[in-house]
Amino acid sequence: MNPATIYSKNPDFVQRDVAGECILVPIRRTLTDAKSIFVLNDTGAALWNRIDGTRPIHEIASEFAEEYDVAAEQLSQDFETLLADLLSIHAIEEVAVAHDPS
Amino acid sequence: MIRADKLPHLPERFPVACQWEITCRCNLRCVMCYTDCYNRPEFVRQELTTPEILRIMDELAEAGTLELCLTGGEPMARTDFFDIYEHAARNGFLVTVFTNGTLMTETHADRFAALPPHRIEISLHGATQETFERITQGKGSHDRCLNAVRLLLDRHIPLVLKTTAMTLNQNEVLAIKRYVASLGSVRYKLGEDMRPELDGGCGPFHYALSNQDLTVLNQQDDDLWAESCKQQSEDPPPCRSGMHRFHIDAYGRLQLCSGNRTRSYDLRAGSFREGFFEALPTFACQWKAPVVSEKIQPTVHHA
């Protein structure tokens, strides 16, 4: 995971909040995923809600770490897994790699 | 992240699934239909308007409803059907459409393909044109129905074909089932229950099969017989309507289920949340266990 990467959401995935669960529904699904929805855990939902196509992932992670009491290493692992999952179903896409101001 | 086909955890009572009879309009006049009594202009004029449907649908989405079945009548007989369908699909409902298929065009099929439904269920009540159209009373309806099947299969739309067994088609059910099997990915459902018309008429029962006829029919097919034996060997579970599922009729009335319209909550006048969480639990249902849950009071009696 490159922490400078910026991701945007695929508009063909609609977020639904159902009974306390954050669900992604692919609205242009194919026959193979016609019966699939994707249920995000709390970390996944928080990440999804912060992906906006403008902020690099390290900025989102910093904000997340300030808000929740979670170790940086654990957070990094969780984000890596979640981003891989979201990329694998094309719910997000990489839009750019931010320049490092340093 | 978990890939699923339904939610893994739901509260004991939550409005996850809606069956919505968006119209009693229909281009056919099926002999056993229970909604056709309201397929008349004076009733159609009272049905929900497009803005009313979209407003109520938005309330369902806000409340967390995920599964939405659009039925009728013939839902595609509404000129605004795709406004309704596409609003639902774009807002992340898992939409099922119950249709007779006979109004389907290439353009319609393309619109379904662009925003695919969870599934489409088409009624196929006869294997031959003669039987099919004796039931639907619609000339040319058999060919149009089969054309819809082809249009949707060509576009890989998940499809279910279903038959209501009755006196007029009992000798063709197995042929219908074989036809469906020949289509490959299409599921088949056989229904055996007739329901009284919504105005209380008993017309559909003139076509009901006797228990003996149903047994003879089911014994001719391993799948049907296995399903029949399974149903007869089990006591029916207590009805759970109003717990996770609910029904809305063409006039915006919220009800426990399609088969129990004894009491309603008017969604034109009140909110869905109030209707589901406050009104529905007070509606009676004779099929519920005496105490199914402290969250619903099925034994309440009313005038």
Q: Is the predicted pLDDT of residue B236 greater than 80, yes or no?
A: no
Residue A77 above 50 pLDDT? Answer: yes
Is residue B90 within 8 angstroms of chain A, CB to CB? yes
pLDDT of residue B245: 95
Cβ contacts below 8 Å, chain A against chain B, sum to: 77
Q: Please, which pLDDT band fits residue B302 given cuts at 50, 70 and 90?
A: very low
Closest chain A residue by Cα to residue B7: A39
Query: What's the whole-number mean pLDDT along residues B213-224?
Result: 94
| Residue A39 near chain B (CB below 8 Å) | yes
Which range of A18-32, A41-55, B36-50 scores highest in mean pLDDT? It is B36-50
Contact A39 B7 (CB under 8 A): yes
Query: Which residues of A are less than 8 Å from B3 in CB distance?
Result: 36-38, 89
In this complex, which of A21, A34, A41 lies closest to B158 when CB atoms are compared? A34
Taking the CA of residue A97 and the nearest CA in chain B, the distance in Å comes to 25
The more confident residue out of B203 and A31 is: B203
Q: Which residues contact A74 (CB under 8 A, 6 or more apart)?
A: none
3-state class (DSSP) for residue A94: strand
B2 contacts in A (CB within 8 Å)?
A: 38-39
Subunit contact A39:B8, Cβ cutoff 8 A: yes
**How many Cα atoms occupy the beta-carbon half-sphere of B287 within 13 Å?**
12
User: Which residues of A fall within a CB distance of 8 Å from B1?
Assistant: 38-41, 44, 82, 85-86
Q: Mean pLDDT throughout B173-180?
A: 97
Residues in chain A within 8 Å Cβ distance of B61: 16
pLDDT in tens, B21-39: 999 999 999 999 999 999 9
Residue A45: is its pLDDT beyond 50?
A: yes
Higher pLDDT, A67 or B249: B249
